Chain A
């Protein structure tokens, strides 16, 4: 009896509760669906303050479009997925999509435009729906004739060129310009003399770069002066070259130096030759020359790389006097440890002026000195202003853009 009553009670409960739960469940789903559909009916807030302009400081065919982010991008309902950029050639014409960006980005560059043609733009914020900004335009792309981002470089070039011209002119007018002694260059005479006494050749390495490298050009200038001394002393000069064009120029330089010294018959073109354009093959070749010929003096003047220590140490083993000069800052320590004299940085560029004492060349050294003083003053000022928070914008004056 009790079991039957209990069974009827359970049955009764089941009959009552299940529909109630189902009803509540349907209510919940319906409500949520109601809530979703009420969100879906609203598109995101449109982007605003859209501007379009010809991209600055470029060759043309590029328009920049900027806008303010939609109120629903990262804030508000936070539903924006991205933006589409639309373009037309007339305000009332058909707009086509030219690009899109993800949410959070408020700029786009359209590089598929022609110069001097009118374009109109609008920007669309999108999630499941979209909303558009107003139309901006007309805007035209064009190339600029001056890159304002490089103004600071222009100012510096003008000032420095003016300094060079001023000091060269002063020197030509006879003004005496002092240049401090450069020990490596003072030793050239001694080094060449030593080679002559020992009856052993002098080795001159122009570096491992091409004729377009300023270091190679500076080295060729020094070669001319060294070759003239060698011609006067009646020694032998060996110049194995890394680059074929440098070789042809070096041959001319040495030939003219021998002519200037009044010893054209002593000039032997086969002493200036192309060795190899492979870095370590060149180093191996030069090492072989140093050890076989037992060169008395080695000059390393130009651009060098990892082979610098290999050359200098081998020269040291061979017992040669060694004079080095390079603008490759990273190789300087190797030359300093292994060579008798090393021209550091600009001393190398000043060497040709120092050897020749030509007023025009000395004038340019003076301009470099004044240029350096200017840079030092700027560094001190820059350090001072950068340390003061509200004056740190001073540093931005010297930023060079693209």
Chain B
């Protein structure tokens, strides 16, 4: 096998090991590269920042453990911002039942940091199947979809929920998800009931939602781990996302390097064989 053929057909396992090293090494030895804040993240941050103590925000943590690495830092950052400003938070998790555990983890962590009380400062409604039906039902009345919270307490007995009927009583709805439920929130909650919607999505999905930013259907958008790192920078609380950015930097550069090597091998191989391009 010529050198060019070898360049074009490197064993997958070599690629996998190099990718693993490019992520692990910066975690052990941080490079501390600066994170620049994009306008779509800033818009969401500024919207929440302008809210007053006592305002209510709906935060739907529609992800499960598989996308936790990207989504959990976003969720915790937004919760930190809300709790630090005295904003009350209603939390749901509508994508999958497995999302309940991750949602509760994020909520408990942020609430403990800011000494917030369940029922007074936040309420965790939990999960119900058929997200579209639940989203539409909450637009009429939260109690239609969730007569009780996740812990079994009747909504009527929760102090925070007095006077909160539906989307009209909340200032913004932020959904963090690794699935297409964002479209459901934008179309049904935002489109039908007019509540402002913000979103946090995995990096692979982010490009799909720029159209909603352009049309004004989304107030702001956090894309992947970088979006989470940007939000951490804005709330001045660098955490897991910021630490993970170094690994992401290196992995991206490595993939580009692989592509260049593969193409060099391809072109030099073609020239060596004297084949004219298609």
The contact string, 1 if C-beta is below 8 Å from chain B, for chain A 321-338, is 000000011100000000
Q: Contacts A278-B96, A279-B96, A280-B66 known; A305 to B178 CB distance under 8 Å? A: yes
**Residue A317 is within 8 A (CB to CB) of chain B in the complex:** yes
**Residue A245 is within 8 A (CB to CB) of chain B in the complex:** no
The contact string, 1 if C-beta is below 8 Å from chain B, for chain A 291-320, is 000000000000101100000000001000
**Residue B104 is within 8 A (CB to CB) of chain A in the complex:** no
**Residue B237 is within 8 A (CB to CB) of chain A in the complex:** no
- What is the minimal beta-carbon distance from B42 to any residue of chain A, in angstroms? 24
Please provide the chain A residues from 194 to 234 with a CB less than 8 Å away from any CB of chain B in the complex: none
The contact string, 1 if C-beta is below 8 Å from chain A, for chain B 182-207, is 00000000011110000000101101
B205 touches A278 (CB 8 A): no
Nearest-CB residue, chain B, relative to A401: B194
Q: How far is the CA of A106 from the CA of B138 in the complex (A)?
A: 28
B192 contacts across to A, CB distance below 8 A: 402
B208 contacts across to A, CB distance below 8 A: 329-330
Q: Which of B64, B67, B193, B207 contacts A330 (CB 8 A)?
A: B207
Q: How far is the CA of A329 from the CA of B207 in the complex (A)?
A: 10
Q: How far is the CA of A278 from the CA of B64 in the complex (A)?
A: 9
B180 touches A278 (CB 8 A): no
Nearest-CB residue, chain A, relative to B206: A330
Nearest-CB residue, chain A, relative to B168: A111
A402 touches B179 (CB 8 A): no
A305 touches B179 (CB 8 A): yes
B202 contacts across to A, CB distance below 8 A: 306
- What is the minimal beta-carbon distance from A320 to any residue of chain B, in angstroms? 16
B278 contacts across to A, CB distance below 8 A: none
- Give the interface centre of A278, A303, A328 by most chain B CB atoms within 10 Å: A278
A280 contacts across to B, CB distance below 8 A: 66
B98 touches A278 (CB 8 A): yes
Nearest-CB residue, chain B, relative to A213: B180
Q: How far is the CA of A280 from the CA of B64 in the complex (A)?
A: 10
Nearest-CB residue, chain A, relative to B66: A280
Q: How many A-B residue pairs have CB under 8 A?
A: 30
Q: Contacts A278-B96, A305-B179, A306-B204 known; A402 to B66 CB distance under 8 Å? A: no
Q: How far is the CA of A328 from the CA of B191 in the complex (A)?
A: 21
Number of A residues whose C-beta is below 8 Å from B?
12
B194 touches A402 (CB 8 A): yes
Q: Contacts A305-B178, A305-B180, A306-B202 known; A279 to B66 CB distance under 8 Å? A: yes
The contact string, 1 if C-beta is below 8 Å from chain A, for chain B 7-19, is 0000010000000
- What is the minimal beta-carbon distance from B194 to any residue of chain A, in angstroms? 6
Q: How far is the CA of A328 from the CA of B96 in the complex (A)?
A: 19
- Give the interface centre of B12, B66, B67, B194 by most chain A CB atoms within 10 Å: B66
B96 touches A306 (CB 8 A): no
- What is the minimal beta-carbon distance from A224 to any residue of chain B, in angstroms? 26
- Give the interface centre of A279, A280, A303, A329 by most chain B CB atoms within 10 Å: A279
B191 contacts across to A, CB distance below 8 A: 400, 402
B194 touches A306 (CB 8 A): no
A317 contacts across to B, CB distance below 8 A: 12
- What is the minimal beta-carbon distance from A210 to any residue of chain B, in angstroms? 9
Q: How far is the CA of A328 from the CA of B179 in the complex (A)?
A: 11
A330 contacts across to B, CB distance below 8 A: 204-205, 207-208
- What is the minimal beta-carbon distance from B70 to any residue of chain A, in angstroms? 10
Q: How far is the CA of A305 from the CA of B193 in the complex (A)?
A: 27
Please provide the chain A residues from 350 to 402 with a CB less than 8 Å away from any CB of chain B in the complex: 400, 402
- What is the minimal beta-carbon distance from B159 to any residue of chain A, in angstroms? 22
Nearest-CB residue, chain B, relative to A329: B208
Q: Contacts A278-B96, A306-B204 known; A328 to B66 CB distance under 8 Å? A: no
B194 contacts across to A, CB distance below 8 A: 402
Please provide the chain A residues from 235 to 283 with a CB less than 8 Å away from any CB of chain B in the complex: 278-280
- What is the minimal beta-carbon distance from B94 to any residue of chain A, in angstroms? 14
A402 touches B193 (CB 8 A): yes
Q: How far is the CA of A305 from the CA of B67 in the complex (A)?
A: 11
Q: How far is the CA of A402 from the CA of B202 in the complex (A)?
A: 30
- What is the minimal beta-carbon distance from B234 to any residue of chain A, in angstroms? 26
B64 contacts across to A, CB distance below 8 A: 278-279
Q: How far is the CA of A317 from the CA of B66 in the complex (A)?
A: 23
Q: How far is the CA of A62 from the CA of B24 in the complex (A)?
A: 59
Q: How far is the CA of A161 from the CA of B194 in the complex (A)?
A: 28
Closest A-B pairs by Cβ, 10 of them: A330-B208, A280-B66, A330-B205, A402-B194, A305-B179, A306-B178, A329-B208, A279-B66, A402-B192, A306-B204
Sampled A-B contacts (10; CB under 8 Å): A278-B98, A303-B180, A305-B180, A306-B66, A306-B205, A330-B204, A330-B207, A400-B191, A402-B191, A402-B194
Given contacts A305-B179, A402-B194, 10 further A-B contacts (CB under 8 A): A278-B64, A279-B96, A305-B178, A306-B66, A306-B67, A306-B205, A317-B12, A328-B180, A330-B205, A402-B192
